Amino acid sequence: MDLLQLDDFELIRVVEEDHDFHIYTRLSDETTHCQHCGKYGVVGFGRREQVMKDLPRLGKCSAIHVETRRWHCKHCGKTFYEDLPHMDKKHRMTDRLVQWIGEQTVRRTNSSVAEDVGVTEGTIRLVFAEYVLRKYEAMRFVTPRWLGIDEIHLIKPRCVLTNVEKLTVFDILENRNEQTVAERLSRLNNRKSIELVTIDMWRPYRDAAAAVLPDATVVVDKFHVVRMLNAACEAVRKVLRADLTPAVRRGLVNDRFLILKRKHQLNDKEHMMLSSWLEKYPALAMAYEIKEAGYRIYDAKTREDANAAYEEWRASIPQEMKGTFGDFERAWRNWRDEIFAYFDCCATNAYTENLNNLIRTTNRVGRGYSFEALRAKLLLSEGPEKKAAARPVFQKMLSRDLTMETAVHEMRVPTHYEGRFGTLLSKLPEILRDGNFGSGQP
């Protein structure tokens, strides 16, 4: 019986073959009540063997064969087969196998889990998707007051839904289409509680928000706007580079970061190096100053000041630079309301920095993982921080000589918000790095 470790089943015999175990069983208790009318008094009416897949054993697949009986009810005259306990009827697997597939597939590829269990990859994908959904729904994330709709690159661009104030991600969508986003937003609980929506300049997000969250104010974050200034400087640098000797070109490549840095963040040495480049290349100097001036629009404290600063910036662009900074200008034209809305709400530096970090990290994610696995990994994974925090208080006190008061305080510091708001943005790069994601197939 130990081999089976399932209550309600009696072991009859085990047959071991090259690749499988077949475990023959019957139910320990006979059915006594009718499944239809619930009355006592049923009589046997034939037999049938039912098979359910179970956990792999000793490197082999295993299946539990259950000799089940068909019953006839003396009262209502109906017949039925007895239900099998511990069984997921839809997939004809034990419940514990479903659980195991879920846990394994977060870490491994579908194909390797499929091989262990002895089912198709398609079955694994289906079981896993349901597992993730059940887990995800059990977490009941709080709908944020301030929603972020952004993009991260996980093999391909994905939409991420974030809680801007809590700095968490609470969902990741397979793609960035308006339909996908609108459909997901419409399923948020209590979506009227969303007051602000921060988006990057991706039209489908704006359209989805307008359709599903008509009362919320849509804001384009500073980060998405000013990075166009950097892109413009980069374009100028690349054109210059084409005419340089290889040695000079290398220098300009290495010093690329100086051009992208804000002037006030340069140290003395960097300042000197940059000045020498800018003296040599007037076009770069011009682009650099326009970039810096563009950033300064964001020093404005009100929408009116910002508008004035932007108009001043626009008027100051020499004709020959109009094309270079065309994207930036077009953004202010096409996203005017959303860009200016930024000046009405509070700053989001922490959010931006976290997101920026995340965007850089996730580009290393390997192929070979299903979208569900990536999503589960990021949303359901407890992350390294949680594991550390799970050490008992008592042990912590011993090892670090904490008082009870500080130990209790440490326990209370939320690293993962217990799933209520989602995974901390700052933890996601760590989860991606530690999660076998770097090298594709593990």
340 near 307, Cβ under 8 Å?
A: yes
Binding to Zn ion in span 96-135, by CB under 5 A: none
Please tell me the count of residues contacting Zn ion according to CB under 5 A: 6
Indicate which single residue of 36, 262, 280, 364 sits in contact with Zn ion (rule: CB under 5 A).
36
Our finding on whether 34 is near Zn ion (CB under 5 A) is yes
Q: Which residues contact 43 (CB under 8 A, 6 or more apart)?
A: 71, 72, 74
Nearest residue (CB) to Zn ion, 36 versus 400 = 36
Per-residue binder mask for Zn ion (CB under 5 A), 302-341, x = binder? ----------------------------------------
Residues β-bridged to residue 424:
168
Quote the CA–CA distance of 343 and 64 in Å, as a whole number: 64
Our finding on whether 43 is near Zn ion (CB under 5 A) is no
Nearest residue (CB) to Zn ion, 45 versus 394 = 45
Residues constituting the chain: 442
Least gap, CB of 8 to Zn ion (angstroms): 22
Least gap, CB of 139 to Zn ion (angstroms): 41
Nearest residue (CB) to Zn ion, 30 versus 279 = 30
Other CB atoms within 10 Å distance of the CB of residue 62: 23
Our finding on whether 37 is near Zn ion (CB under 5 A) is yes
Our finding on whether 192 is near Zn ion (CB under 5 A) is no
Burial environment of residue 102 by CB neighbours within 10 A (0 to 12, 13 to 18, 19 or more): buried
- Specify the 3-state DSSP secondary structure of 436: coil
Quote the CA–CA distance of 173 and 186 in Å, as a whole number: 14
Per-residue binder mask for Zn ion (CB under 5 A), 61-80, x = binder? ------------x-xx----
Q: Phi and psi dihedrals of 98, rounded to 5?
A: -60, -45
Nearest residue (CB) to Zn ion, 73 versus 218 = 73
**DSSP 8-state code for residue 98:** H
Burial environment of residue 293 by CB neighbours within 10 A (0 to 12, 13 to 18, 19 or more): middle
Nearest residue (CB) to Zn ion, 76 versus 253 = 76
Our finding on whether 84 is near Zn ion (CB under 5 A) is no
Least gap, CB of 68 to Zn ion (angstroms): 18
What residue ranges bind Zn ion (CB under 5 A)? 34, 36-37, 73, 75-76
